[in-house]
Amino acid sequence: MGGWVAVAGLGPGAEGLVTPEVTAALDQATDVVGYIPYVARIAPRAGLTLHASDNRVELDRAQHALDLAAAGARVVIVSSGDPGVFAMASALFEALEVRRDRQDTDIRILPGITAMLAAAARAGAPLGHDFCAINLSDNLKPFAEVERRLRHAAQGGFAMAFYNPRSASRPHQFVEVLRILREECEPGRLVLFARAVSTPDETLTCVTLAEAEAEMADMRTVVIVGNQATRRVGRWVYTPRSVSA
Amino acid sequence: MGGWVAVAGLGPGAEGLVTPEVTAALDQATDVVGYIPYVARIAPRAGLTLHASDNRVELDRAQHALDLAAAGARVVIVSSGDPGVFAMASALFEALEVRRDRQDTDIRILPGITAMLAAAARAGAPLGHDFCAINLSDNLKPFAEVERRLRHAAQGGFAMAFYNPRSASRPHQFVEVLRILREECEPGRLVLFARAVSTPDETLTCVTLAEAEAEMADMRTVVIVGNQATRRVGRWVYTPRSVSA
C-alpha cells in the first residue's frame, strides 16, 4: 500500500523556520497526527485528515499513526521544534517496541529547528561552547534526577538549556532549580528567558542569576543559562569559543 | 545605506534542510563570506560576491563581514549546521567586542539544522532524553577540560554528541576520549558514528562502546553516545523519554 510515518519538526513557530523537507512531507500526507496546538499550525486541505489529540497521550498517538500507516496512510506526526528533542520521535520508538507487528513500517524522522537553538540565535550565541539540554518536566523523571544533572552540568562548565521549565501543575519546581543553580554558579551568571520565539508573542529577557525569578518562565519559555564566560556585547549575549578567552 | 550581516546555518548538507529564512537571506545578499566548503554550496549569481576563506581565520572573516556591512553590503556569513553551535556566530560577537565601532551593525543570527540533530534523526532518537554537546577539538581548549566535561556528562547520565571528534593533526585524542568513556560507562553503551549526514557520502554505524574504534570517526563525523537506557528497536536507536523506563 505504500503507507509511511514521518515524524516532523515544525520548528519554533515561524513559517520561515520550517524546512522544505517537512513541507514536502506535509504536502504528500493523507493524515496529520499530533498535539492540538501543533496540528492547528497545519492548513486544512482536501484529502488531508487532521487528528489532534491532547497532551500526555504520546504513546496512543504514536500507535494510532502506526495503525494508519499499516492501512496505507501517509502519516505525519507533528512536533514543535525538533522531533528528537523531548518530543514525539522517542514516543514513536517506544510504541514500536510494544507493537512488534509494526516494526517494518516505513519511518522517517525529519529534523527541525529546536527551541533552544532558535532562542540562542535571537539572543546572540549563548550556546557557542559546550552545552547541555535538560527537560525540567518531572512527569517522566524524579526531581532528584533533575538535580543531579543540574549539578553535573554546572560543575562541568556547560551552558544549559532548559525545556518545560515551569507549568501550572508544578509551579514550585523552577524555584528549586534556581536555588540549586545559585549554589553551583556565581551570582553574575547570565540567564536568558526566551518565550514563544519566532512567534508574535516572542519576548526575550536576559538577567543575572541573582536577578532571576521563577515567574520569568512558563511552559512556552526556554531558559538558557550561560557558562562562566558567557557575556554581553552590545544588545547581544554570547559564549566565546575558547575556554581561556 | 542599509548594510547588514546575517550569520546563516546551511544545515548538514541537503538542500531540503535549508530553512526558507536562510534561502531568503541568501537571495537578498550582495556578499557571502565563509569557510571554503560552505561557500562552495552557494550558487553564483550576478550581483553576489563570494568570499571563501580557509579554516581557523574565523575572527578575520567576521571583521571582514562587519567592514563590508559598514560600507552598505548585505552580507551572509555561512556556517554548516547551526551557526550558534561551534560555528561562526560566537566568532562574530568576539569580533564585535574588538571592533566597538561596529556595534551598531544590523545583525541577525539565522538558525539551522545542526549536525547532531540531523544525525539523531537518521538513526532514530538517541538524543530523546537529556543530552549534551561537546566540541572535541582542542584548538580552543585544553584536553583536560574535555576530559572534565566527559566525566561530568557521563556521571550526570547525559547522552552526548561530539563535534570535531578527530582530525589528521590530532589522531590520538579520540583514542583518549574512548578510554575515558570506557572508565565511566558500561561496555554495552551504544555509540553512533554518523558521517556526512544528508549528503551522498552519508554513513551511519552503531556499535557498542566495547566495539568502538577511534578510526570510525573523522572530521566529517558526529559521534553520539547514548545514555544508559539508549537501545535498539528494529534498525533504529533511541533513548526513552522516561528515566525509569
Angstroms from B56 CA to nearest CA on chain A = 12
d(CA B67, CA B49): 15
The whole-number average pLDDT for the span A226-232 is 97
Supply the DSSP symbol for B11. Answer: B
Task: Look at residues B22, B17, B21 and name the one whose alpha carbon lies nearest to residue B121.
Answer: B17
On chain B, the residues whose CB falls within 8 A of the CB of A57 are none
Contact B84 A127 (CB under 8 A): yes
Other residues' Cβ atoms within 10 Å of the Cβ of residue A181: 21
**Which of B107, B238, B239, B242 is the best substitution to test chain A (most A C-beta atoms within 10 A)?**
B238
DSSP string, B68-106: HHHTT-EEEEEESB-TTSSSHHHHHHHHHHH-GGGTT--
Please tell me the predicted confidence (pLDDT) of residue A166.
Answer: 85
A170 vs A155, more confident: A155
pLDDT of A219 above 60: yes
pLDDT digits (tens, 9 = 90+) for A112-121: 999 999 999 9
Number of alpha carbons in the 13 Å side-chain half-sphere of residue A201 = 7
Distance from CA of A230 to the nearest CA of B (A): 10
Best residue in A7, A19, A28 for a mutation probing chain B (most B CBs within 10 Å): A19
The three cell numbers of residue A71 are 492501512
Q: Which residue has the higher pLDDT, A98 or B242?
A: A98
Q: Which of A127-141, B34-48, B58-72, B100-114 has the lowest mean pLDDT?
A: A127-141
By CA distance, what is B241's nearest residue in A?
A90
The DSSP 8-state label assigned to residue B43 in this structure reads P
CB burial readout B90-124, b (16+ within 10 A) else e: bbbbbbbbebeebeebebebbbbbbbbbbbbbbbb
Q: Which residues of A touch B90 (CB under 8 A)?
A: 125, 128-129, 238-241
What's the CA gap between A113 and B175, in Å, rounded?
Answer: 32
pLDDT of residue B245: 38
Q: What is the pLDDT of residue A243?
A: 72
Residue among A93, A133, A140 whose CB faces B125 most closely: A93
- What are the grid coordinates assigned to A227, written together? 557558562
Q: Which residues of A touch B140 (CB under 8 A)?
A: 241-243
Nearest CA-CA partner of B159 in B243, B244, B245: B243
**Percent of chain B having pLDDT more than 90?**
89
Q: How far apart are the first and last CA of chain A?
A: 58
Q: Would you call A128 and B85 a contact, using CB atoms and an 8 Å cutoff?
A: yes
**Average model confidence (pLDDT) across chain A:** 95
Chain A nearest-CA residue for B6: A121
Task: Name B232's Cβ contacts closer than 8 Å, sequence gap at least 6.
Answer: B190, B206
Residue A245 pLDDT exceeds 70: no
**β-bridge partners, B207:** B191
Mean pLDDT within A182-193: 98
* Cβ A29 vs Cβ A48: under 8 Å: yes
Q: How confident is the model at residue B172 (pLDDT cuts 50, 70, 90)?
A: confident
B148: closest chain A residue by CA: A156
> In this predicted structure, what is the pLDDT of residue B117?
98
Is residue A192 within 8 Å of A206, Cβ to Cβ? yes
Compare all CA atoms of chain B with the CA of A99 and give the residue at the minimum distance: B233
Q: Cβ B157–A149 below 8 Å, yes or no?
A: yes
Q: Give CA separation, A40 vs A32, A50, A89, A198, in Å.
A: 10, 9, 19, 17
Residues A88 and A7: beta-carbon distance below 8 Å: yes
What distance in Å separates residue B161's CA from the closest CA in chain A? 10
Q: Do A90 and B140 touch (CB under 8 A)?
A: no
Q: What is the pLDDT of residue B244?
A: 58
pLDDT tier for residue A244 given thresholds of 50, 70 and 90: low
Distance CA B116, CA B96 (A): 28
Nearest to B111 among A17, A83, A90 (CB): A17
Q: From CA A127, how far away is CA A230, in angstroms rounded? A: 9
pLDDT at residue B219 is higher than 70: yes
DSSP summary character for residue A43 = P
What's the gap in Å between the CA of A50 and the closest CA on chain B? 24
pLDDT band with cut points at 50, 70 and 90 for residue B180: very high
Contacts of B61 in chain A (CB under 8 A): none
Dist. CA B125–CA A173, nearest whole Å: 27
Residue B173 has pLDDT above 50, yes or no: yes
Work out the average pLDDT over B125-149: 91
User: Distance from B79 to chain A by nearest Cα, in Å?
Assistant: 13
Query: B42-53 in b/e burial notation, b at 16+ Cβ within 10 A?
Result: beeeeebebebe
Put simply, the answer to whether A111 touches B113 (Cβ < 8 Å) is yes
* Residue carrying the nine cell digits 515567574: A215
- Mean pLDDT over A188-206 rounds to 98
Taking CB atoms and an 8 Å limit, are A85 and B112 in contact across chains? no
CB A112 within 8 A of CB A19: yes
The residue length of chain A stands at 245
Domains and CATH numbers, chain B: 4-113 (3.40.1010.10), 116-238 (3.30.950.10)
User: Minimal Cα–Cα distance from A82 to chain B, Å?
Assistant: 8
In chain A, what percentage of residues exceed pLDDT 90?
Answer: 89
**What is the mean predicted confidence (pLDDT) over B118-137?**
97
**Interval A24-75: pLDDT, tens:** 999 999 999 999 999 999 999 999 999 999 888 899 999 999 999 999 999 9
Q: Give me the helices (H) in chain B, please.
A: 20-28, 36-39, 58-70, 88-98, 115-123, 143-155, 173-184
- Contact by Cβ (8 Å): B143, A101: no
Between A167 and B224, the more confident residue is: B224
d(CA A127, CA A241): 9
Q: How far is B193 from chain A (nearest CA, A)?
A: 17
Mean per-residue pLDDT, B217-244: 93
- Chain B residues closer than 8 Å to A135 by CB: 129-130
Q: How far apart are CA B205 and CA B123, in angstroms?
A: 9
Mutate to test the interface with B, among A130, A139, A150, A244 (most CBs of B within 10 A): A130
